[in-house]
Amino acid sequence: MSDYVLWAVLCLAIAFILFFIEIFIPSGGLLGILSFSALVGGIALLFKVDTTVGLIGAIAALLAIPFLFAMAIKIWPNTPLFKYILLKTPSTPPPPAAGDAPDPVSVGDRGRTLTALRPVGTCLINHQRLECLADGRIIEAGMDIEVVGVDGMQIKVQPV
C-alpha cells in the first residue's frame, strides 16, 4: 500500500470530523471550508493512487454529502447552540395537565392581551392562548381585558 492511500484516508477522516464539528461549534463556515478542502485533498490523493480508486472515492463522496447534510439537519436542532440561538417565546403560565380539559371561556372572565387587537389578536384567558376580537376599538398588547361576549369560537373582549 502506498503512502498516498494512508494520507487520503486521513484527509477523508479529517473532512468527516470537521464537518460534524461545524454543527456544534459556530465558526462562520471556516470549519466547513476546511472540511471541504480536506475532502478535495483526500480525493486528489486517491487519484494519485489510481484513476479508478479516485473515481470511486469521488462518487462515494458525492453520494455521501446529501446524507451527511440530512443527518446534520436532523442533529442540529438538538444541540445546545441551536437551543441558545432559538428565539424564546414570552413566559406564560404552565398549560393545564394532560388529563385536564381546558376551562371554558365565559362572559366576565378576565385576562391579558399578548398581541395588539386590531381588531383581532391573541389573549391569555384562563391560562389559554386564544384568538379574541376587540369590541369597538384597538387594544394594545399587555393590557388587561374582560370577556364581554362568546359566540361559538368568537370571543369578544374590551379593556378593563
Q: Tens digits of per-residue pLDDT, 78-103?
A: 887 777 777 665 555 566 565 566 67
Show Cβ contacts of residue 116 under 8 Å, excluding neighbours closer than 6 positions.
Answer: 138, 139, 140, 141
**Does residue 127 register a pLDDT over 90?**
no
Name the phi and psi angles at 134, rounded to 5: -70, 135
β-partners of residue 131 are 122
pTM: 0.51
- Quick one: 80 and 118 in the same domain? no
The reply to whether 104 falls in a domain is no
CATH for 135: 2.40.50.140
CB 156, CB 147: distance < 8 Å: yes
Domain that holds residue 142: 110-159
pLDDT at 139: 94
The reply to whether 50 falls in a domain is yes
pLDDT at 152: 83
Q: Average pLDDT for residues 112-130, to the nearest whole number?
A: 93
The reply to whether 49 falls in a domain is yes
- CA-to-CA distance for 107 and 99, rounded, in angstroms? 25
pLDDT at 56: 94
Torsion of CA 106, 152, 130, 119, to 10 degrees: -100
Q: Average pLDDT for residues 31-39, to the nearest whole number?
A: 93
